[in-house]
Amino acid sequence: MPHQGEILTLQRHFQYHIQYAVPVEIYRDDVFVAIGVVTAVDEGFVELQGTLYNRGIFTFISRPGY
């Protein structure tokens, strides 16, 4: 289980967040982009409530309790 503020990189981290509806923050470089619940993930993209984010461009940070 990823902890508050941990960067998500592994497929199992994203699957955990989907299974338990744990929110994530998304950043591009150091700029905040979005926060919400991951609805789908594959090797290249993360879907956050209908919007796709490229895993190679964006950083995903665990935010349990948000």
Per-residue pLDDT averaged across 7-13, rounded?
Answer: 92
Asked if pLDDT for residue 1 goes beyond 60, the answer is no
The domain in which residue 37 lies consists of 11-62
**Locus of tokens 């998500």:** 8
CATH (domain of 40): 2.30.30
pLDDT reported for residue 21: 92
Residue 28 structure tokens = 């591009």
Structural domain total, the chain: 1
| Mean pLDDT computed over 26-45 | 95
Q: Domain for residue 5, yes or no?
A: no
The amino acid at 58: F
Mean pLDDT of 27-50: 95
pLDDT over 90 percentage in the chain: 83
SS (H, E, C) the chain: CCCCCCECCCHHHHHHHHHHCCEEEEEECCEEEEEEEEEEECCCEEEECCEEEECCCEEEEECCCC
Is 45 a residue whose pLDDT tops 60? yes
Within a domain: residue 3? no
Q: Please report whether residue 6 resides in a domain.
A: no
